[in-house]
Structure 1
Amino acid sequence: MTAPHPHPHPHPHPHLHLHLRPAGPADAEAVALLHADSWRRHYRGAYADAFLDGDVVADRRAVWTARLGAEPAHGVTVLAEDAAGLVGFVHVVLDHDGRWGSLVDNLHVTNDRRRGGTGTVLLGRAAAAVAERAAGPALYLWVQEQNEAARRFYRAMGGTVVETAPIEPPGGVPQWLNGAPRKLRVAWPDVRSVGR
């Protein structure tokens, strides 16, 4: 009989087990499935059930097949993997906005690896990409108002909510939105403050 493990979580420091690499065309399916699963878990209520339970995988597959098939010079997609495969990804659009800087368009982590450090590592990698390649140092993202866990994470990472705006319907289809959900713009004037 072995002594009980001192850490209740099997990966108390999962970033130590992570491998980061740029995404390529062959990763589109895995990224799309993780993205769809994340939306189903966290966007329920804002996005219509009919979309989340039906068209969301096809929608994300189309987006990621196009995005990773011709990665633009201003886009950076980084995957986090462990021995089991993909556990998270981040996508940054460099110099997206003249005022707010580069956009973290997507940051998603598998449900079993949330609150374990993977998101911190990926946001840090996004900040590093901005520092290395963007014209300006500012970084921002949009988070759904209802996504309390994500809002807490970005606040802990030094982000400041600077404005609120309506959420656009996914795919531009109004009936895929429930009511009038809102999103918050979270900003870092300088990526060196990410995580500080």
Structure 2
Amino acid sequence: MVSFRAATGEDAEDVAALHAESWRRHYRGAYADSFLDGDVLADRRAVWSARLTEPAPDGVTLVAEIDSELAGFVHVVLDQDARWGSLVDNLHVYPAHHRHGIGAGLMHRAAGTVLDRGATDAMYLWVLEQNTAAQSFYTAVGGRIAERSYVEPPGDAPGRLNGRPAKLRCVWPDVRDLLSRQR
């Protein structure tokens, strides 16, 4: 049975570990191997410790658990962009839990948060161009690709990237469309 709840500071280590593992699995080629095989966990630990111990008023992190163990999480920054709305800054699910509705459940809860707390009903995210599996998932829950850009290096450290990897903006102009796609 999957349960969903707001993340707390006590979740920082588990969220960071999943985030680092997901980057190692899906960002290889775009991000430098030296970063992914080196300090990516320390980098993500610093980010999530800060985000979850002193949350920003516009940031919402939700976790999905199975038997009290982290299965996935989503982080939303409300009203991040005047045109595109709220940003789904992170969505990660452990591979063992893929295709069990956890990602869709997290996306639906993110959309509900945007509907309840956002100034607009629009939501978007960035997905690596090379991550075609994630693109398929996002389009299956109603997203559409709106534009292409380039990835900014994590921590503003250019050496953490391989060249200039591309990313795609996936948008939901009205999160009600996502919410209507219950699985």
C-alpha distance in structure 1 between counterparts of 2:21 and 2:28, whole Å: 11
Matched, 1:145 2:129: yes
- Residue aligning to 2:73: 89
Offset at residue 76 of structure 1 (A): 0.6
Give the structure with higher Rg (CA).
1
C-alpha distance in structure 2 between counterparts of 1:101 and 1:151, whole Å: 19
Q: What SS is found at the alignment partner of 2:29?
A: coil
The letter for the 1-side match of 2:100 is G
- 2:33 is aligned, of 21, 46, 49, to 49
> Residues 106-158 of structure 1: CA distance to partner in whole angstroms, max 9, x if unpaired?
00000111122110000000000001111110000000000010000001111
Higher mean C-alpha displacement, 140-149 vs 171-180: 171-180
C-alpha distance in structure 2 between counterparts of 1:172 and 1:116, whole Å: 35
1:105-184 equivalences in 2 (<5 Å): 105-184=89-168
> Residues 24-54 of structure 1: CA distance to partner in whole angstroms, max 9, x if unpaired?
1111000000000000000000000000000
Offset at residue 175 of structure 1 (A): 1.1
> Residues 140-184 of structure 1: CA distance to partner in whole angstroms, max 9, x if unpaired?
000000001000000111111000001111111111100111000
Q: What SS is found at the alignment partner of 1:179?
A: coil
Matched, 1:29 2:13: yes
* Aligned-CA RMSD value: 0.9
Aligned residues: 180
C-alpha distance in structure 2 between counterparts of 1:187 and 1:125, whole Å: 16
- Residue aligning to 2:51: 67
Offset at residue 84 of structure 1 (A): 5.5
The letter for the 2-side match of 1:104 is V
- Residue aligning to 1:19: 3
C-alpha distance in structure 2 between counterparts of 1:170 and 1:55, whole Å: 11
TM-score after normalising by structure 1: 0.90
C-alpha distance in structure 1 between counterparts of 2:105 and 2:12, whole Å: 21
C-alpha distance in structure 2 between counterparts of 1:78 and 1:126, whole Å: 8
C-alpha distance in structure 2 between counterparts of 1:192 and 1:40, whole Å: 33
C-alpha distance in structure 1 between counterparts of 2:160 and 2:178, whole Å: 33
Structure 1: gaps (5+ residues): 1-16
- Percent identity among equivalent residues? 60
> Residues 48-74 of structure 1: CA distance to partner in whole angstroms, max 9, x if unpaired?
000000010000000000000111111
